[in-house]
A and B are shown apart, each in its own frame.
Chain A
Amino acid sequence: MLKAIGRVVLCKTVENSTSDSIQTGPVLQAVDVSLCYPGSREYVFNNVNLEIREQEVVALLGESGCGKTSLLNIVGGLFSPTSGSVAFYGKKIHSTPAKIAIVFQDACLLPWLTVAANVAFALRLKSLRVPADERKQRVQVALREVGLEDAADKYPAQLSGGMAQRTALARTLARQAELILLDEPFSSLDAITRKSMQELLLGIIHTHKSSALIVTHDIDEALIIADRLLLMTKEAGGANIADWDLGKILGNTREGEFGEAKRHRRSTAFMDLREEISSRLAQGARGAALTNSCGL
């Protein structure tokens, strides 16, 4: 079931895929991406390969400090990798394309704009330049989808953490991006809000038929929402990525109602997999601790 992966990594297309979706080229493909921080000779990660296919939700799981946020920023075109390249629909990227939207850990709302103006922000920029009437309509729809139509005229200082993150999600929705990159978007929310936000996110990805890469350090979050799970662990000289096709192991979250998908994902397979990933994570942490002490 599990594809164990070597040091230099993976993400091979799952052959004989049970889903009957037509296999098209990857939405996003990172080839042999490596990163060294300036002034350091040590790799944060080395020769990482990764691809996100159409309408796929990929979770990138890893302990904090293993470089997953840096990987997301590279994949999103915010930084350039030390070596390797990233392609969006087969075209190499050097900055963030308008069709990729990034949701940050922090809601990152602009305090001088109302909720509606924050949602409309990207639509006013030259890169998208959406006409005023369409912009208004997209903002309305996005706010309705996240349940904030009554808060349109509020300022960010008046919002709770959950509402702020909903606004950030609406801002992403309004852009109608084809790929959404999320960097631990719900980690600062309480457990109950987080759960409703996860459901909201899945529902949205489902209706918009977009693809998503979500970086998280929460195993349950990754197992519940993703079609594919990538586990990033730190090793001497770089990072290792292991890959599980959750759609095959646990059933697809997109098929049928979301509630049904959740039930599927509470099976024993779920618990076994959770156990396995936890132990891999723990091993990774021990390995990293060992490397660090050797380094000293």
Chain B
Amino acid sequence: MANWQKKISDNYMVWNFCIPVAGPFAFLLFWWCATHLLSDSTPMAAYFMPEKAWQAALHAFDSGVLVGHTIDSLRRVFVGLLLALGVGIPIGLLVGSSRIFDRASNLFFQLLRMISPLSWMPLAVIILGIGDAPVYFLLGFAGVWPIILSVASGVAAIDPKWLNLAKSMAASKTEVLFHIIFPGIMDHILTGARLAVGVIWIVLVPAEMLGVQAGLGYFILDARDRMEYGDLVLTILYIGVLGAIIDYFARWLRQKWQAKYSNL
């Protein structure tokens, strides 16, 4: 490593606070330059300047307009994740423990997995009506695949010694499930849940653009219709920041689990 690189990585303040914000700062600079340069030739660009987004942010902070939409969106993510876990864990257990079920379901699941959840929207609305229900369905459908895959690989990776131990203690099937298998695959469940939250968060915004009257996805379309482009850009950035925080939290949760129980 070159000398100057080492100097940077040794300085605590620089390494932990200055370097990580360099990327966002560069993006901000690029954004500012691009919109200002384009504003002469394309008048529309003026609406998307960082200053506009900043004004919108001050206004949103003042009025608290985003709070309600955020709560709606987070509620949908939470319900979607619960649905995905509720369906994904039992199916994952089945796939991981039965070779026949694994083979029988594999092709079908691969096929289902490749269908964009949004393509079910018309069907979901016809069956479940307008409102939150079709959104929950889409989010659950989007999030269930990473959970099935993680749980199945977790079950397959369970140490056979633990099963033998339980057998030697005359444990019943239910006891093996709750005292050996569940804790044994917890790490995989947390990994699956983290991936699922990522997918759900991405599907959430387009899903909220259809048939609901609140939420961050709805707010983007609403801002477009009101021609409040500052709000629009602000919401896009806000979704990114919130998603990163959620992902960070999910990763932190898993690391906590690992640090405590890892058998390495």
- Least CB distance from A159 to B in Å reads 10
- Least CB distance from A257 to B in Å reads 33
Tell which of B168, B171, B172 touches A78, judged by Cβ atoms closer than 8 Å.
Answer: B168
Tell me whether A111 and B161 are in contact (CB under 8 A): no
Tell me whether A125 and B171 are in contact (CB under 8 A): yes
Q: How many residues of B are in contact with the other chain, CB < 8 A?
A: 21
- Which stretch, A1-9, A29-37, A91-99, A243-251, touches the partner chain B? A91-99
Tell which of A76, A110, A111, A124 touches B168, judged by Cβ atoms closer than 8 Å.
Answer: A76
**Alpha-carbon separation in the docked complex, A76 to B167 (Å):** 10
Given contacts A126-B175, A127-B170, contact A157 B161 (CB under 8 A): no
Tell me whether B175 and A155 are in contact (CB under 8 A): no
Tell me whether B171 and A127 are in contact (CB under 8 A): yes
- Least CB distance from B260 to A in Å reads 7
A135-162, CB under 8 A of B: which get 1 and which 0? Answer: 0000000000000000000011100000
A121 CB-CB contact with B under 8 Å = yes
A110-122, CB under 8 A of B: which get 1 and which 0? Answer: 1111000000011
B264 CB-CB contact with A under 8 Å = yes
Tell which of B162, B171, B172, B263 touches A157, judged by Cβ atoms closer than 8 Å.
Answer: B263
Tell which of B161, B172, B179, B186 touches A108, judged by Cβ atoms closer than 8 Å.
Answer: B161
**Alpha-carbon separation in the docked complex, A78 to B261 (Å):** 28
Tell which of A95, A97, A111, A122 touches B262, judged by Cβ atoms closer than 8 Å.
Answer: A111
Tell me whether A96 and B263 are in contact (CB under 8 A): no
Q: In chain B between 117 and 151, which residues have their CB closer than 8 angstroms to a CB of chain A?
A: none
Given contacts A96-B168, A96-B170, contact A121 B179 (CB under 8 A): yes
Tell me whether A95 and B170 are in contact (CB under 8 A): yes
Task: Return chain B residues, CB-CB under 8 Å to A122.
Answer: 169
Task: Return chain A residues, CB-CB under 8 Å to B261.
Answer: 111-112, 155, 157
B156-185, CB under 8 A of A: which get 1 and which 0? Answer: 000001101101111110010001100110
Closest to A97 in B: B170
**Alpha-carbon separation in the docked complex, A197 to B264 (Å):** 24
Tell me whether B161 and A98 are in contact (CB under 8 A): no
Tell which of A98, A104, A112, A121 touches B170, judged by Cβ atoms closer than 8 Å.
Answer: A98
A106 CB-CB contact with B under 8 Å = yes
- Least CB distance from B19 to A in Å reads 33
Tell me whether A104 and B171 are in contact (CB under 8 A): no
**Alpha-carbon separation in the docked complex, A122 to B186 (Å):** 21
Tell me whether A108 and B175 are in contact (CB under 8 A): no
A281 CB-CB contact with B under 8 Å = no
- Least CB distance from A20 to B in Å reads 34
- Least CB distance from A150 to B in Å reads 19
**Alpha-carbon separation in the docked complex, A126 to B169 (Å):** 10
Tell me whether A108 and B162 are in contact (CB under 8 A): yes
Tell me whether B162 and A110 are in contact (CB under 8 A): yes
A52 CB-CB contact with B under 8 Å = no
Closest to B164 in A: A78
B236-264, CB under 8 A of A: which get 1 and which 0? Answer: 00000000000000000000000011111
Tell me whether B169 and A121 are in contact (CB under 8 A): yes
Given contacts A78-B164, A104-B161, A112-B183, contact A125 B263 (CB under 8 A): no
- Least CB distance from B183 to A in Å reads 4
**Alpha-carbon separation in the docked complex, A96 to B161 (Å):** 15
Task: Return chain B residues, CB-CB under 8 Å to A157.
Answer: 261-264
**Alpha-carbon separation in the docked complex, A106 to B183 (Å):** 20
Interface centre among B161, B165, B183, B186 (most CB of A within 10 A): B165
**Alpha-carbon separation in the docked complex, A112 to B184 (Å):** 8
Task: Return chain A residues, CB-CB under 8 Å to B171.
Answer: 125-127
Tell me whether B167 and A95 are in contact (CB under 8 A): yes
Task: Return chain A residues, CB-CB under 8 Å to B161.
Answer: 104, 106, 108
Tell which of B164, B179, B262 touches A104, judged by Cβ atoms closer than 8 Å.
Answer: B164
Task: Return chain A residues, CB-CB under 8 Å to B179.
Answer: 121, 124-125
9 additional A-B residue pairs with CB within 8 Å, beyond A78-B168, A100-B168, A125-B172: A78-B164, A78-B167, A95-B170, A96-B168, A106-B161, A108-B164, A126-B171, A127-B172, A157-B263
11 A-B pairs (CB sep. < 8 Å): A95-B167, A95-B170, A97-B170, A100-B168, A104-B168, A108-B161, A125-B169, A125-B179, A127-B169, A155-B261, A157-B261
Residues of chain A whose beta carbon lies under 8 Å from any beta carbon of chain B = 76, 78, 95-98, 100-102, 104, 106, 108, 110-113, 121-122, 124-127, 155-157, 175
